[in-house]
Amino acid sequence: MNTRRSFLRRSALLTASAASLAFATLAAGPAAAQAGPDKIRIGWAVAKTGPNAPGVATTVLPNYKLWVEEINAAGGIQLKSGKRVPVEVVEYDDRSSSEEAVRAIERLVTQDKVDFILPPWGTGTNLAVGPTFHKHGYPLLAATAVTDRAPDLVKRWPNAFFFLGTGHGYGEALVSYLEQERKAGKIGTKVAMMSVADGFGVDLGGAARKVVAKHGFELVYDKTYPVGTQDLSPMLNEIKALAPDVFIAFSYPPDTLGITDQAKVIGFNPKVFYTGVGTQFPLYKNKFGANVDGVMSLGGIDADDPAVQAYFRRHKEVTGQEPDRFASPIVWVSLQMLQQAIERVGVDRAAVSKELAGGTFDTILGQVKLVDRQWPKLWWVGQWQDGEFRGIAPTDRAGARPAVIPKPAWKP
Amino acid sequence: MLIVDVLLAGFTLGGMYALIAMGLTLQYGVARIMNLSYGEVLVMSAFGTWFAVTRLDWNPVAVLLASLPLGYLASWLIYRVLMMPLVRRSGAGPALEVDSILATFGLLFLLQGVLLLAFGGNYYSYSYLSQPVDILGSQVAANRLVVLGFAAAIGLGLYLLLTRSRLGTAVRAVAVAPRFAPLVGIDVWRLSAIAFGIGGALVAGGGTLLSMFLPFSATMGVVFAMKALVVVIMGGVGNLLGCLVAGLMLGFAETLVARFVDPGLTLAVNFALFLLVLLLRPAGLFGRVAR
């Protein structure tokens, strides 16, 4: 098992121990005499290999690294006593397997005896490890889980927090937003939808399917495809022939790239072009350049907000890569909240959970208090505009941009 | 044009399947190495191409020309250095298959680890030749056509080489009867290394071509290896023409079902077809039952 601990852990250990050594020499007298821990042990088990690895590498791990780096650079988390306590990391690879993730979490609790555990990536894995977090009373800050069951789960697991909303939320918000645009005469009623036959596509596709008719749209195409389908051109050719006003794909990153590529090749340019996870990734813009303009998806950011800009800059500096424009900022605010909760109540898991549930936190997305232990401020719909993926709905939120409809034509 | 759409999609997808399987069929069919790290080599070549194209500003076609000999050399070396001791120990008998599976399984993790270290777990992608080509009123991406052309050229070219040349005859002799080939003066080990190397060149070329239109990540190798294995077994182990036919069959089945039945059933149809072929012709479409 020891071999699985990566060298990141070792380097984090080194940094942490160096920091604590420096601290010990600096603050030898009175601080050392005070009660309280001399380090906070943080554990995580995320997918460094397997099909979930790209999601982890894009959204989760850079944030975790940045968080540890910033805390330890400042000398540690400042507890109520005024003492700064550095963070030490224990890391495992869950190899994209739920069983492995559960085992690793058990191990973090019982053998490594970490103080807090940061969550894995993705809806499925978060739900899989939920009972284990619950059993041991560890707060679960599920920042990358989109699930319709979130409102029920927070009742069942008093230490669980959900940050990325429900499939229903995204589906309903998208279709009701489109209804406004239809009433404004910008689009017609024909909607074509394709979704990946996996958690994300099933949830969001199901949610959208239910409300399409209610908002006065007609679903002219509605099919699912298996995960890992390498050629989506037959579906897109068929959809193009139906000439829909609105195209929606609840897709995963490789499909999102493939769909966009193929739409460009066959000149399929509906008034609303919406693709799923991956649209918000820096990779998407790198690949398609100016052609991203007008593409819609879930998530978004207020790119003019100085706090968001500062976060983007730090992320780039420390990890060498840009964050995505959907879940990355949300993962970051969940970490900010955890840190502030520890600062307020100390290394006491029950008290931290209580503080997370009831406290107000100062984040890069403003002053926020969770509602029923769920993050209340999400961008449901976003759109690439002027090289940035900006939030467009909810339309009454500060920083919301009006959408560009119809989408501009593909450039060669 | 519905028919042209379906034909083009079937041909291009099938061509891609055939392309990624051809290298494996040579390595497994002739050199008797069940190369489990096959997918990793493919992805490695894709990453190499990505690096050369985005960082060094190479043209992907130039990278393709470079990756073929590089792939040959690297695979030939792997055979001579890593596989040779196994070949000697097993006398190229049935034990070689088991041993080579274990050895290349290790190689799989080694290569994947190197890729993860160098590139991390992220998806990578760049754009090349994704302009539409108009064929009888249907648009198809130029890069997919290149892949199809390449698969057809390699498939037919190597088929002719194997059936019409002296070297090819020797290679076939090794594939069919490795124990008796030395009796007619064939250096089995040298030919096996050459076949393994040619297989490696095909994988490397395949990786370069795939990177032109598919996003890839360091951990995606196994997806391609699985697909390649299905095509190889369906077409008959060691048979390049079988690869081409099996790949095209799968491509067409997927396209037809996606367009006329339901895209959700493409995987099911793939495996149904695979089972059907195995039931009717257990040695594959072009395979010979007895060796």
Convert the pLDDT of each residue in A126-168 to its tens digit. Answer: 999 999 999 999 999 999 999 889 999 999 999 999 999 999 9
Contact assessment for residue A156 and residue A210, using Cβ atoms and an 8 Å cutoff: no
In a domain, B276, yes or no: yes
What are the DSSP calls for A357-371, one per residue? HH-EEEETTEEEE-B
In a domain, B286, yes or no: no
pLDDT of residue A300: 94
CA distances from A145 to A177, A339, A374 (A): 23, 20, 11
For B44, the domain range is 2-280
pLDDT tier, A5 (very low <50, low <70, confident <90, very high otherwise): very low
Q: How far is B64 from chain A (nearest CA, A)?
A: 20
Whether A240 has its CB under 8 Å from any CB of chain B: the answer is: no
In a domain, B285, yes or no: no
Q: Across the interface, which of A58, A257, A262 has its CB nearest the CB of B125?
A: A257
Distance CA(B159)–CA(B242), nearest Å, equals 10
CB contact under 8 A, B263 and A223: yes
In a domain, B25, yes or no: yes
pLDDT tier, B182 (very low <50, low <70, confident <90, very high otherwise): confident
Query: What is the average per-residue pLDDT within B133-156?
Result: 84
In a domain, B26, yes or no: yes
In a domain, B80, yes or no: yes
Q: Across the interface, which of A194, A265, A278 has its CB nearest the CB of B132?
A: A265
pLDDT of residue B94: 75
Helices (H), chain B: 2-29, 38-54, 60-77, 84-90, 95-119, 142-164, 166-176, 188-211, 221-235, 240-260, 266-280
pLDDT tens for residues B189-244?
Answer: 888 899 999 999 999 999 999 998 888 999 889 889 999 999 999 998 888 888 88
Q: Across the interface, which of B13, B215, B255 has its CB nearest the CB of A257?
A: B215
In the block, tokens 């769920």 appear at A374
Whether A404 has its CB under 8 Å from any CB of chain B: the answer is: no
Whether B123 has its CB under 8 Å from any CB of chain A: the answer is: yes
Contact assessment for residue B243 and residue B155, using Cβ atoms and an 8 Å cutoff: yes
In a domain, B289, yes or no: no
In terms of pTM, does the model score above 0.95? Answer: no
In a domain, B23, yes or no: yes
DSSP-derived 3-state class of residue A68: helix
DSSP-derived 3-state class of residue A195: strand
User: How many folded domains does chain B comprise?
Assistant: 1
Query: What is the average per-residue pLDDT within A3-30?
Result: 45
pLDDT of residue A10: 46
The enclosing domain of B60 has a CATH number of 1.10.3470
Complex ipTM > 0.90: no
Name the token pair of B37: 């790290």
Whether B132 has its CB under 8 Å from any CB of chain A: the answer is: yes
